[in-house]
Every structure is written in C-alpha cells, then in structure tokens.
Amino acid sequence: MNILNIAKKEIITSFRDKRTLFFMLLFPIVLIIILGTALSSAFDQQLKVDDVQVLYQDQSSGGLSVGFKVFIKEAKKSGVDFKQISTGMNGKHEVKQGHYDAYIEVKDSGIKLYQSDKRNVKTSIIQGMLTAFSNQYKAAREMIKVNPQHAKMALANRSHDNYIKETSINSNKQPRSIDYYAVTMTTLMALYGAMHASFLIRGERLGKTADRLMAAPLRKGEIFAGKLLGCMLSNAICIFLIVTVSKSVFKANWGEHLGAVFIVLLSVVLFAVSLGLGIGAMTKTGEAAKAIIGVFIPLVGFFGGAYFPLSHMEGAIAVIKKLSPLTWTNEAITNIVFSNDIGAMFPAIAVNTGLSGLLLLIALVSLRRREGL
C-alpha cells in the first residue's frame, strides 16, 4: 500500500509540472507534424519520370526499318517521344548540350545509342527499351526472310505499354514519413524520461523531504519501488497519449498488434527510468547527471534513426547504430507494425529489461550504502 501511495504522489507531481506536460506531450506531437510533413518526399517510393526526348536517324531498310517504325509508335504510349534528325543537325552535339536525352542511329549493320549519362534514369529507360526491341527483332528476323509483313504483325502484336514494371513485397505496408516519425519520436520521448528519473531520489534531498520520508514508517525499498513505479506510470501515460493522438489525429499506422507495440514501449520506459536512476546514483551532483543524459540521449537518438533513417549506412556508423537502444526498439516496432512479426518484440524486450536490471541494481546498491536517501 505504501508503494502505491508513493507512486500516486509521483504521478500527481509529474503532471502538475507544466514543463513535463510540454516536453513529454506537446513537443513530440509538434515534432511528428514537422518532420512527418517536411520529410514526406524522402519516404515517397514512387518514381516520377518526365517524358523522354529521343533524337534518331533511320538509315535502315527492309524489316529493320519496318520494325523500328512500329517500335517508335509503341514507345510513344510510354511517354518516349522520338524526333527524326533534321538536315544539318549533329545528334551527338544535341545530346551533349542537353537538348535530348539520347540519340539513336539505326542502320542495317546495327543500332547505336548515344547518351549523356549512363546513370540517368531516362537513358536507362531508353537502353532497356532498345534492348527489348533488339531481342524481339532478332526473333522476327528469320520471319523477314520469308515475309516482311509477318514480321510487322509480330512486332505490332508484341507491344509494350510499360517497359519498366516495379514490384514490391508488401508495398502497401511501407512506412510513410508520418508513420516513421510517430514511432521514432515516441521512443525518443520515452527515453527522455531518464531526465526526470535521475532526480527521483536526489529531488527528495534537494526538496528537504528526504528526512521526513526516512522518519516515516517506510523502508528504503518501498520508497525506491514506489518512485520507480510512479515514474514509469507517468511516462507510460504520456507515451500512450502520444500514440493515441498520432493514430487518431495524424492517422499514423501503428498496425494491428497494439498490445505487442505497447509492451515494447513499456520496456523502453523501464529502461529510461532505470537509466536515470543508475546515472543519478553514479554521479555526485544533479547537474552532472543531467549533463550526461543530455549528451547521451541525442547521440542515441541520432544513431537510432530518430531524426532520419540510417538503414543504408556502412562502416563505423553501422556498428555504432547497432549499439543504440533505439535501434533495436524502433526495428522491433517497425517489424510488428509493417510485417506483423510479433516475434520481433522479444529480443528488444530482453535487451531493454536486461540493461534495466543492471542499472537498477547499481541504483539500489548506491541507495543502501547511504545513511539516508
């Protein structure tokens, strides 16, 4: 009962603090809006390509000329515009100047493609289309020897309206920017609960209430457990409200397994509170604890992908990224939400609770060694 009373007192004290309400509730919601809107294009998976402009010179004859004319007609349906070179024009120079995306020379001896940059999406499209046409023409070349009209029919019947087709696995379940930042900002704010937790015990000493607590019929263990529980519950309430607002107002996708997601989030809350208590026990002053946490959490947030994804990083950054508590937490929630992988919760929970146990042990040992709080 004493533990519950102390926990209740901590919850009331936390929500009376306007700075707590602003930082733990309004601040992450504002960040979700700003980052989710400003960086939405970075999560846009649709590739938009303007019409492709191609200059060509056709000096071929027979079946190749027939087939190439059919190819031009069908390619226009895919947004590729062909223009025949005029007298006096230099096709290579036109491409070099950027007036056209590519220049094609068609002769009976073969097809030559001139392009300004092989890494350009448009030139890759042209190259792919010409490769498809060349392979088709080779198949129809034998027919040309017998009847060119049959070759024309074969080419016409094998039209390609879409020369590039993109297929993604679970493409409709890829996170949008608002989904991504709803998760990362929530876990980041959960971790910032360490700042308040570092003052749970020291705050009683600074407020001159430690002696009164020790004079009451309370054991140190009860005081410690009550403060731990109260801090966890107040942080969990803030996290619950952030998830609710992001889901109902911003339509962020939290998946169909909210129970599993909240369990992972609770493990982060436990780790944050334990981190604050542990650092508070290991430092001599509150300013030192605040400084350490103030440096640690932004770094953990950066390498954990809180501000932008680091999934494609390599080298030292990739190694450091794996050590961030937010990395395994955010990945676990993302897998639960977008891949329905419930099993992803267990490694994250195990690591968070394991580290929490170690930090709480440090705080308890430090508290027992003191005469008072």
Predicted confidence at residue 103, as pLDDT, reads: 86
Q: What are phi and psi of 60, to 5 degrees?
A: -85, 175
pTM of whole model > 0.75? no
What is the average pLDDT score of the chain? Answer: 80
- Cα atoms in the Cβ-side hemisphere of radius 13 Å centred on 220: 12
Sequence ranges of the domains in the chain: 2-43+174-369, 52-157
Tell me the one-letter amino acid at 199.
F
State the pLDDT confidence band at 1, using cuts at 50, 70 and 90. confident
Q: Going by CATH, does the domain composed of 52-157 fall within 2.60.40?
A: no
Contact 40, 176 (CB under 8 A): yes
Task: Compute how many other C-beta atoms are within 10 angstroms of the C-beta atom of residue 206.
Answer: 10
Task: Give pLDDT tens digits for 271-329.
Answer: 999 999 999 888 888 889 889 998 999 998 888 888 877 766 677 877 888 888 889 89
Task: Give pLDDT tens digits for 219-241.
Answer: 888 888 888 999 999 999 999 99
Q: Is the pLDDT of residue 150 over 80?
A: no
Identify the residue with better confidence: 32 or 135: 32
Predicted confidence at residue 346, as pLDDT, reads: 94
Q: Is the pLDDT of residue 169 over 50?
A: no
Task: Give pLDDT tens digits for 74-119.
Answer: 787 777 888 888 888 888 888 888 788 888 888 878 788 887 665 4
Q: Identify which of 232, 326, 224 has the alpha carbon closest to the alpha carbon of residue 281.
A: 224
Identify the residue with better confidence: 130 or 338: 338
Structure tokens at 287: 């300013």
